[in-house]
Structure 1
């Protein structure tokens, strides 16, 4: 029985204090570490490897005590790991989906038996993880492994996948990448941060109890340079990184030119809005923000946005709820310095503080703190430091609240609090984020896609949508591995044209002077310069504008004005516009075939066939406009969830030389069918079919500005597209140097890249474009969308 000093249930509910906490002894985890002499090596070829004479890093617990040491990989270790993974991939990828599913299901059972050891080791290494969530993740992707052969028959695994995760990420985030990669038949090399290394190595060991073939799963550890060194191994086919924005940008630049496809999930320290409308249940909303913002280890930096009509009510409840909360441990002493600086700057700008207690004089601890009265441009609101700081901003109308939520460059997630379902759904649709929670926060399930927007990343995890990053269509060639060239990124695309006018050229013999198409108008290049268009035999066919940076800027300005309206059109209305474009192309069939024949030298029969395929392809995209949609996945928790594809925004497309008309309409249809605006850069070698297609665009009812066509030098226009901050994605067919430039330049600001080396793909005679495989159109469509998930609890 409780003694006379014990608190009653009423007292506990009044104060909302947490109960007494009894720290775990972590005996099971320490026993596992003891078996490895508290020194952990690598995991490769199905066993632990601990080479001698390697630099070590110490893993510490929350008190600063030593947990164990991990070693740092050398280049020979990475090479051995790559060879082992390549051999493992051959065995693993040949297994049926059913056999791979059985392995993953055995892992789920093994995790249930070793729950205590895994949990204790995660806690020791300050990387807590929900084991039920990890088991659910394993079972979910076991199901997709089982269904792969039936539902995704034309997609093949990429090969050896490198998963690089920094210490800032959660342990769950590693397996959100690893498990779908394994389920789809890839081999995986994991490169965890130092704190994440021990539990990662433990789980790799547990995998071997499931009869996973040796080499399929490997773990190499070390400092921050290991990820880039792993990426340079020619056995790697794909790399995915999770961590901070700064480290992700560095990794992208380090690996540019290696011919490696890279995706970045830069959610660490992403700024996410927590929006409370006047129609919200204020008590529940305040409890939610306290739980989200002042956790010991949180995934994002929350910014509280409150409607002015309930601001005083929210502030008073925050003061009541925050009283008595204990100080939250920071990551390091340097984080404490950042927090102190942010608080002082906020105070100088007129902010007021709500704190649970006075901050300690020193040390890596800080009390939960709300910064009230901040202006949106305040540094504490724009980039909150790591720690228990919660900036509070106010807004008047719902539209202003959406604008406040969209002001951040990070588009990771948002939490909306309102009892008005219409307002919730409209706000969720308007926010430029990947995940939205209504009257809740941080709710995850593997069936829901998690998609980065803006600076928070360019990859999609979770759900069926997250599988495609680890697959490619079987007819589609992979980006070839290569060695970076010594490229002057500042000078790329700025050199003068090397084109020479043919000897003996008679200007009067050219009857056609072409224009480019910007904002719905025919115009010359801003530079006033033109280029000659030649037939295969050298005869001059026409003059076309030599576009540049100013032309791209004009096209983007026109696209930004019209794209929101084009997106708001119903899918059925967009389908009618594309059908109209197809009809007008059919009316000009003879002229387009003649243009292709004159430009490329093909026979009239082959040129006519390309036009026929182009008409059919446009009709395909028109038909898909209102057929592709998201869904409502079944969830194990109470509530409903929606997942839906959304438009990227403005897309730059650098077109290939192969099939100049068919490739143009294939990519244009993919982009505009989903509500994007597109800026097309025609083939530098064969621009005439694209120029003649402008007349088809003019005759159609696609709004002016949705499609622009800018002719000129490929490198110059690629450079202009890459350096425009409002372009969200670039699809590129060109040289290895162009691919290297884009990978290096488009890491900041971050853009979605779809890169193809035409030096390799151009040898297929254009079969890629004329191939009837459904997976190729599926790939184009998926490159044209981002995913949004909305969670709506019902209890």
Structure 2
């Protein structure tokens, strides 16, 4: 049966809400709309180019007022019981049901379409976690005031995926929305207040650009900043907040390039339908690259041509976008690509037909840096291994879609792809129960599931945040870590009593630094030289990373029981070298031998803890609201750089070493510059262990110089840093391209402080927190119908 043309959707309810606010939306502070005088405004256009409404651009005074309101809101909201907070979120489900039409229409008008049913699912899921926080997540407390910043292209769903878990855990939230999400965010804030959320628990500040997020982060009341949107905005926010002492996590959910892989064992018709829908019919926050096995290439292209015939042109945002699309198509044709188009492009205007660029190469500019518009590059592969290589070619690691009827092949490919979400014979499935970490350049935090809640919590045993709030230090980033090492002057002392020279450990071998230089290690009082250690640098780090990257994939694939056995053997090796290493601790720190021996004993126990931990904490299956199976898998980060603390130099080293390798990572470890000898003495244990050569590397030298080398190496995925405030600021500013996951702890020399960590305490939270820092999460969705 044929149907007539669909009527245009009504927008009367949303238009009435905008008219009620005179189409000039203010800020939402302390539970009500506020429109301060003398503020600039920003106009928002609708899909037809007309003026929809205007929003206020907040200034410093508004930020201060909002932060003060959020602090009061946090006290009121966190003071409620878990059941009371859950009731408020559940009440919002019915409130949203009453005003679903207004929310849906307003999102559509702003170009940020979001189904109210998806918001209801979010509310139901996180209200349950609000109810069970103290039951299932014991000994963790909310952070305080959380700032949620999103870019202009970010969807309402991505925004609420940050806001609702923060509220469910008892935090108050300041939302800094993008231009298209500002009106829906203000409407939802109003509905939250109507559901009984305390005034100040949710505030909305609108502005003219991303700099407002940095102004909010600068306020000392803010405990945490989390960002969703394009990578450029996230990098700008990280640089602008460097040195403020506030943790910033980034989830670049816009602009990533993701593989759509079709194997020869796939149901080709279903796969092509999926390609058409995800590449051309849905609003694209991400760019897809079609990867097809050569044996079914002709079949896929023929079906694409048939399915695309008669498809309408897609509207672009501007004439500039049309010019970019045409330039991309022309460049692709010059490189030998063949076009599959639904129709001929119109001679002018902002419309362009859906287009497949067949015969693309992984290095083609339109694959690496895709232009806006309905363009789909198509690449081919021969083997399953080549398919994984193509899928991992992108610097992004957000998602992938795999099409095959072979379940074994699907699971093997899903585990091998460096992405946060994998959809088997499906695409674009989202649900809040799925934990997703940004792999590679697609983020530094986990959203969704129980795992995504921990970014909004801190251990109850920690009285303070790892980074103290401060003002950024005025520093020249290009000169950080360039200071020369102290010179060593030869003396005429007795050679028999001269200080002992130590070696570092790179690629499974004890060796000198590439430069051949050494630095002097002073006695506890600084009166004499007790040893010489290598002065490592950039080339040593490069060699260590090369060895670590070679061995880490194989170590990651080892059975957890095999990794546990290696850690047990490491603990036995430490027991065998107990006297030597205790002596190094005593000589270095001036502790009596019995206290130094206690630290070694604790180190042996800590390695045994991590050995036992290897096969105890794993992912599992998740209950989805639709048919199918969903898996959550914790995976190793990759190569991790560790700049060790001064406090408990041996115990802190083995604790972090165990956390890293127990979860499948390879490590580049930089011993404390002040107390390097225990870590260098531990090299004897590493040499006699059965760990693969290159899995653990120990490089001594200037902390700042080696920090710079770690920060600028593209293969290193994460850095755990204990050091100066300047070092923390440098890492926050530098580690944005590519993105690195940072765990930063500011320690003040001479005060014995270590970011609030007591290494001698074997509290379960210490191990759990480090385990969570050492893994990233992947979700795999397999439909059954």
Same fold (TM over 0.5): yes
- Does the alignment pair 1:545 with 2:530? no
Assess, with a 3 A threshold, how the Cα gap between structure 1 residues 20 and 459 changes in structure 2: closer, same or farther: farther
Aligned residues of 2:745 and 2:755 also touching (Cα < 8 A): no
* 1:735 CA displacement: 0.5
Give the match's secondary structure for 1:763.
Answer: coil
Pair 1:183 & 2:173 matched: no
Equivalent in the alignment of 1:769 = 759
Give the match's secondary structure for 2:599: helix
Output the CA distance in 1 between the equivalents of 2:656 and 2:171.
28
Matched, 1:98 2:87: no
Give CA deviations for 1:290-328 in whole Å, capped at 9, x if unaligned.
000013512210000001111001101101111111111
Distance 1:710 1:506 in 2: 29
1:722 paired to 2:711 = yes
Change (3 A) 1:763 1:505: farther
- Partner residue, 1:529: 517
Contact map agreement 1:651 1:728 (CA 8 A) in 2: yes
Cα distance in 2, alignment partners of residues 360 and 506 from structure 1: 89
Matching residue of 2:670: 681
Aligned-residue offset at 1:607: 1.6
Shift of residue 330, structure 1, vs aligned partner: 1.9
Where does 1:361-380 land on structure 2 (aligned, <5 Å)? 361-380=347-366
* CA distances 1:570-590 after superposition (whole Å, capped 9, x unpaired): 100000000000111122222
1:566, 1:675 within 8 Å by CA — same for their partners in 2?
A: yes
Aligned pair in 2 of structure 1 residues 787, 766: CA closer, same or farther (>3 Å)? Answer: closer
2: CA distance, partners of 1:361 / 1:424:
43
Which is worse superposed, 730-739 or 357-366?
357-366
Q: Structure 1 CA distance, aligned partners of 2:72 and 2:494?
A: 62
Alignment of 1:381-530 (within 5 A): 381-476=367-462, 477-478=464-465, 479-498=467-486, 509-530=497-518
Using the alignment, how far apart are the partners of 1:472 and 1:569 within structure 2?
A: 31
**1:792 equivalent in alignment to 2:782:** yes
- Of 264, 276, 282, the residue aligned with 2:250 is 264
Corresponding residue SS for 1:243: strand
Rounded to whole Å, the distance in 1 between the matches of 2:359 and 2:478 is 43
The answer for the alignment partner of 1:3 in structure 2 is none
Query: Which residue of structure 1 lines up, in the alignment, with residue 158 of structure 2?
Result: 173
Taking the aligned partners of 1:436 and 1:598, their CA distance within structure 2 comes to: 53
Q: Which stretch shifts more, 680-689 or 378-387? A: 378-387
- The correspondence for 1:618, drawn from 587, 604, 607, is 607
How far off its partner does 1:485 sit? 1.1
Q: 345, 350, 356: which one pairs with 2:331? A: 345
Given that 1:658 and 1:766 are in contact with CA atoms closer than 8 Å, whether structure 2 keeps it comes out as no
**Does the CA-based 8 Å contact 2:746-2:755 persist in structure 1?**
no
Correspondent of 2:104 among 97, 107, 119? 119
- Which structure 2 residues correspond to residues 572-583 of structure 1 after superposition, within 5 A? 572-583=561-572
Q: Residue 145 of structure 2 aligns with which residue?
A: 160
In structure 2, the partner of 1:236 is 222
Please give the alpha-carbon distance, in whole angstroms, between the structure 1 residues aligned to 2:487 and 2:17.
68
Q: Equivalent residue for 1:755?
A: 744
Q: Distance in 1 between matches of 2:585 and 2:277?
A: 63
Q: Which of residues 762, 765, 769 is equivalent to 1:779?
A: 769
Which of 452-461 and 604-613 deviates more? 604-613
Q: Does 1:736 align with 2:722?
A: no
Which of 363-372 and 763-772 deviates more?
A: 763-772
| Residues 1:293 and 2:282 are matched in the alignment | no
* Cα shift at 1:39: 0.5
Q: Deviations over 1:459-517 (max 9, x none)?
A: 11000011011111123331111111111111111111246769997665324110000
Matches within 5 A, 1:18-33: 20-33=5-18
SS at match of 2:781: strand
* Deviation of the 1:338 alpha carbon: 1.7
Q: State the alpha-carbon separation in 2 of the partners of residues 20 and 516 from structure 1.
A: 74
Q: 2:214, 2:549 → 1: CA distance?
A: 36
Q: Which of 645-654 and 607-616 deviates more?
A: 607-616
| 1:559–1:650 Cα contact (<8 Å) kept | yes
Alignment partners' CA distance in 2, 1:474 and 1:488 = 37
SS in 1 for 2:47: coil
Question: What secondary structure sits across from 1:253 in the alignment?
Answer: helix
Q: Which of the numbers 594, 601, 620 marks the counterpart of 1:631? A: 620
* Aligned equivalents of 1:457, 1:549: Cα separation in 2: 26
Answer yes or no: is the 8 Å Cα contact 1:42–1:220 preserved in 2.
Answer: yes
- Paired with 2:497 and 2:705, the residues of 1 have a C-alpha distance of 29
Deviation (angstroms), 1:251: 1.5
Q: Give the distance between the partners of 1:639 and 1:732, measured in 2 at CA.
A: 41
- Distance (whole Å) between structure 1 residues aligned to residue 781 and residue 227 of structure 2: 26
RMSD: 1.6
- The alpha-carbon deviation at position 168 of structure 1 amounts to 0.9
Q: C-alpha displacement at 1:650, in angstroms?
A: 0.4
TM-score normalized by the length of structure 1 = 0.96
Residues 1:77 and 2:55 are matched in the alignment: no
Matched, 1:745 2:734: yes
Q: Pick one of 323, 335, 341 that aligns with 2:321.
A: 335
SS of 1:770's equivalent?
coil
Gaps of 5+ in 1: 1-7, 13-18
Task: Confirm or deny: 8 A CA contact 2:153 2:180 kept in the other structure.
Answer: no
> 3-state DSSP class of the match of 1:181?
helix
Tell me, in whole angstroms, the C-alpha distance in 2 between the residues paired with 1:71 and 1:644: 43
After TM superposition, give the deviation of residue 356 of structure 1 in Å: 1.3
- The Cα of 1:673 is off from its aligned counterpart by 0.4
Segment drifting more, 773-782 vs 717-726: 773-782
Deviation of 1:636 (Å): 0.7
CA distance in 2, matches of 1:505, 1:533: 16
Task: Note the C-alpha offset of 1:567.
Answer: 1.2
Secondary structure of the corresponding residue to residue 690 of structure 1: helix
1:657·1:686 contact (CA, 8 Å) conserved in 2? yes
Contact preservation (8 Å) 1:648, 1:785: yes
2:746 and 2:754 in contact (8 A); partners too: no
SS of aligned partner of 1:241: strand
Hey, what's the Cα distance between the residues in 2 that align with 1:759 and 1:155? 26
Going from structure 1 to structure 2, the CA distance change for 1:321 and 1:497 (only over 3 Å counts) comes to: same
Cα deviation, residue 771, structure 1: 2.2
Structure 1 segment 634-649 matched on structure 2, within 5 A = 634-649=623-638
Aligned equivalents of 2:661, 2:348: Cα separation in 1: 56
DSSP-derived class of the 1:496 partner = coil
Q: What is the alpha-carbon distance in structure 1 between the residues aligned to residue 639 and residue 485 of structure 2?
A: 27
Kept in 2: contact 1:659–1:766 (CA 8 A): no
CA contact (8 A) 2:272 2:304 kept: yes
SS at match of 1:742: helix
Q: CA deviation at 1:362?
A: 2.9
Q: Which residue of 1 aligns with 2:696?
A: 707
Unaligned runs of at least 5 residues, structure 2: none
Q: Deviations over 1:263-292 (max 9, x none)?
A: 111121100000000010000000000000
Query: Contact 2:747–2:754 at 8 Å: present in 1 too?
Result: no
Q: Deviations 1:143-180 (Å, cap 9, x if unpaired)? A: 11111111222111111111111121111000000000
Contact 1:296 1:328 in 2 (8 A): no
The CA distance in 1 between the partners of 2:318 and 2:442, in whole Å, is 24
**What is residue 215 of structure 1 aligned with on the other side?**
200
CA shift for structure 1 position 671: 0.4
Q: Does 1:315 align with 2:301?
A: yes
Q: 1:61 to 1:606 in 2, by over 3 A?
A: same
Question: How far, CA to CA, are the matches of 1:194 and 1:696 in structure 2?
Answer: 57
